[in-house]
Chains A and B, each alone.
Chain A
Amino acid sequence: TQLLEQSPQFLSIQEGENLTVYCNSSSVFSSLQWYRQEPGEGPVLLVTVVTGGEVKKLKRLTFQFGDARKDSSLHITAAQPGDTGLYLCAGTNAGKSTFGDGTTLTVKP
């Protein structure tokens, strides 16, 4: 069984602060995805990382895939209230994804 652990489970910060959330596994994945989900809606894909050590930037969001392709981090710079949501990571092999339980981020104005 491939398990993904996300930490922290909950994070509440003030607008303008920086934060990092983590996604860890003992399994190797061919790719890893990060999603953001809002209440009552489906997850929205943010990024896919494929190569060990890969770093991708999406505006104020920086995603990194671990060298061994077992873990990943998401760093948000100068968080805004619009960043509030559930951040999910998913490890994918052969087109099938295993999801973590997410980090619930609240950014207070």
Chain B
Amino acid sequence: DTGVSQNPRHKITKRGQNVTFRCDPISEHNRLYWYRQTLGQGPEFLTYFQNEAQLEKSRLLSDRFSAERPKGSFSTLEIQRTEQGDSAMYLCASSFRQGTSYEQYFGPGTRLTVT
């Protein structure tokens, strides 16, 4: 098992451009999560999927953000018309149910810098 992978690891873009990030979860995990983390803060929930269904999306997430998990395997997070405030680390995690708990395993993150 290779763990959760994310690509790219770093992305620098100009304000107004669109960016897309990819997450490949651990293969047997049916849940996939996206978080955003800024310096000095913990990860902030953005959205999550169970298989291919997007079950919840944070109210903090503007319409410029969209996520997909078309076949219940990898997922993509797209940010349209990027703003400087979008600069952050974008983290993906996957999980499966163990008894009554879900343990989330994180990828290394994608660091986005909007100039």
Contact = CB atoms under 8 A, between A and B. Distances in A.
Judged by DSSP, the binding face of B is strand
Interface string B90-115: 01010101111111111111010000
Judged by DSSP, the binding face of A is strand
Question: For chain B, which range describes its interface: under 10, 10 to 19, 20 to 34, or 35 or more residues?
Answer: 20 to 34
A95 B101 CA distance: 7
A8 to B, nearest CB: 14
Contacts of A43: 43, 91, 106
A74 interface: no
A109 interface: no
Given A95-B95, A99-B42, A99-B43, A40 B104 contact: no
Contacts of A95: 31, 48, 95, 97, 102
Contacts of A44: 106
Given A33-B104, A95-B97, A42 B42 contact: no
A50 B101 contact: yes
Given A96-B45, A99-B44, A101-B40, A40 B111 contact: yes
Contacts of A100: 42
Contacts of B108: 40-42
B4 to A, nearest CB: 8
Contacts of A98: 45
B107 A42 contact: yes
Q: Sorted from nearest, which 8 A-B pairs have the closest CB atoms?
A: A99-B42, A42-B106, A31-B101, A95-B102, A101-B42, A99-B43, A43-B106, A42-B109
Interface of B: 4, 6, 31, 33, 35, 40-45, 48, 56, 91, 93, 95, 97-109, 111
21 contacts: A30-B101, A33-B103, A33-B104, A40-B108, A42-B4, A42-B6, A42-B91, A42-B107, A45-B103, A50-B99, A50-B101, A88-B42, A88-B43, A90-B104, A95-B97, A96-B45, A96-B56, A100-B42, A101-B41, A101-B42, A102-B41
